[in-house]
Amino acid sequence: MMEWETVIGLEIHAQLATKSKIFSGAAIAYGAEPNTQACAIDLGMPGVLPVLNQDAVRMAAMLGLAIGAQVAHRSVFARKNYFYPDLPKGYQISQYELPVVQGGHLTVDLEDGSSKVIGITRAHLEEDAGKSLHEDFQGLSGIDLNRAGTPLLEIVSEPEMRSAKEAVAYMKKLHQLVVYLGICDGNMQEGSFRCDANVSVRRKGAPQFGTRAEIKNLNSFRFVERAIDFEVERQIDLIESGHKVVQETRLYDPDKGETRSMRSKEEANDYRYFPDPDLLPLIVDEAFIEAARAALPELPDAKKQRFAEQYGLSGYDAGVLTVSRELAAFYETVVASLGSEPKLCANWVMGDFSAFLNKENREIADSPVNAEQLAGLLRRIQDRTISGKLAKDVFEAMWAGEGDADTVIEKRGLRQITDTSAIEKVIDDVMAASPDQLAQYRAGKDKLFGFFVGQVMKLSKGKANPQQVNDLLMEKLKG
């Protein structure tokens, strides 16, 4: 069997979280009434001039610093010319030869626990186009220019990913980073973070890359994985049946699970890039870069490493807890509030707490149980007021709004029984009620120990301290 190698490079568009557009003062307001958020500049009226939004540059610089790139002291905006109804000027302002961010890399965590460094070629600033609306217009198309002029940062990777899973891991890592940095809301459904995937295949060991296809506008991690997997199969089939891959742009159809040709290289646009005469070169001085550096939060990798060291957590746990700044902050508040046992805190934040959030699709900010309240519950496990098992019921009640841990424990009478004589009393009752099992146990049927534990826990409504039950039973069953 012939061995194939997949080669993938991603171009990711992150919509920058500025208040206004990149070259005008119009607001960015997703979901607003069509054509209410576009001013004369966004509409491409004659005689108007673009003015660069400094906040977009600051955000680009933050990304550059976070990926170890060069933030260019001088970069240039260029016109990318093409005709499309949602592009009123007839050109998109982008950066071409001299982008604001050059080089850089991202360390990506793979499923097998290893990591891989993926090179980043560049990141450039550009404006988004408007949107064509194809529904509700009886055979015509509507145009909504609210999105026109929205700032985008296009982040271009080196062709260094070797599987769909690696590509998804890279995309997730970049997504996490831009959201951490606060430069992008990361909302993929609304198109704030989307990806064009360049895919080719070659025989293992071949000195050169194969011809690539570019799959446009993938807006979910799942689609990226499926589209690439489909495309790899398609290209391998083509070559193995004696055909050639043609360089082209393709679209992924999620309903059919396949990619389709959109335009081939011959039909490709010649964008006739040239420097935009309406915009001066972008000059970024050292002070500006230093200010951006000072605004950087603790980055995901650094936070993960600190969590592992400071709290004695595994790399896996540290990774889960630092997946977002919000979850990490929540965890740290629980630990600070409890004051000990960071591993117990980790188990609860990653376990029941996250499970309840996910189940109800809630943000941490509107969780019904806050960090101090969760710590309050853990304190009652620690001081053995309740068992870890009953704590799950208490947590559920807290989530349902029944009050804090102590209130629920009192109200429901869940306080753990740690009084030896009380537990012994229950054990005596159980032994008296099960003479056959007792005889069998004493005749050597050790397995029945579990039966007695179960009976004692049942009779005590789960409240007997499990460790004490074990110890006392061991003694008493001996006779």
Residue ranges in contact with ligand ADP by CB under 6 A? 7-11, 156-159, 198-200, 209, 212
Strand partners, 283: 74
* CB nearer to ligand ADP: pick between 156 and 295: 156
* CB nearer to ligand ADP: pick between 228 and 318: 228
CA–CA separation, 421 and 428 (whole Å): 10
Residue 392: name the closest of 335, 348, 359, 357 by CA. Answer: 348
Shortest distance (Å) from residue 91 CB to ligand ADP: 17
Q: How many helices (H) and strands (E) does the chain have?
A: 16, 17
Listed in sequence order, the residues at least 6 apart from 82 whose beta carbon sits closer than 8 Å to its beta carbon are 90, 91, 92, 269, 271
CA–CA separation, 255 and 416 (whole Å): 54
Amino acid at 408: V
Shortest distance (Å) from residue 39 CB to ligand ADP: 30
In contact, 20 and 27? CB cutoff 8 Å: yes
In contact, 53 and 151? CB cutoff 8 Å: yes
- Tokens 């609210």 belong to 146
- The tokens for 143 are 């145009």
- What sign has the CA pseudo-torsion 448, 454, 458, 462? positive
Shortest distance (Å) from residue 254 CB to ligand ADP: 22
Shortest distance (Å) from residue 67 CB to ligand ADP: 14
Shortest distance (Å) from residue 260 CB to ligand ADP: 19
Shortest distance (Å) from residue 53 CB to ligand ADP: 25
* CB nearer to ligand ADP: pick between 142 and 159: 159
Using CA atoms in the order 411, 417, 423, 427, what is the torsion angle rounded to 10 degrees?
60
The number of CA neighbours under 13 Å toward the Cβ of 3 is: 3
* CB nearer to ligand ADP: pick between 8 and 152: 8
* CB nearer to ligand ADP: pick between 11 and 86: 11
Shortest distance (Å) from residue 402 CB to ligand ADP: 53
What is the DSSP code string of 276-307? -TTS--EE--HHHHHHHHHT----HHHHHHHH
Shortest distance (Å) from residue 457 CB to ligand ADP: 59
Strand partners, 401: none
Shortest distance (Å) from residue 154 CB to ligand ADP: 10
CA–CA separation, 48 and 65 (whole Å): 33
Output the residue with the shortest Cβ distance to ligand ADP. 9
CA–CA separation, 76 and 279 (whole Å): 8
* CB nearer to ligand ADP: pick between 198 and 387: 198
* CB nearer to ligand ADP: pick between 268 and 474: 268
CA–CA separation, 252 and 340 (whole Å): 50
* CB nearer to ligand ADP: pick between 122 and 380: 122
Shortest distance (Å) from residue 304 CB to ligand ADP: 26
Shortest distance (Å) from residue 119 CB to ligand ADP: 9
- The tokens for 8 are 């993938």
Q: In which region does residue 83 sit, left (phi positive, over 0), alpha (psi from -120 to 50) or beta (all else)?
A: beta
* CB nearer to ligand ADP: pick between 11 and 185: 11
* CB nearer to ligand ADP: pick between 11 and 396: 11
* CB nearer to ligand ADP: pick between 216 and 476: 216
Amino acid at 372: E
3-state class (DSSP) for residue 249: strand
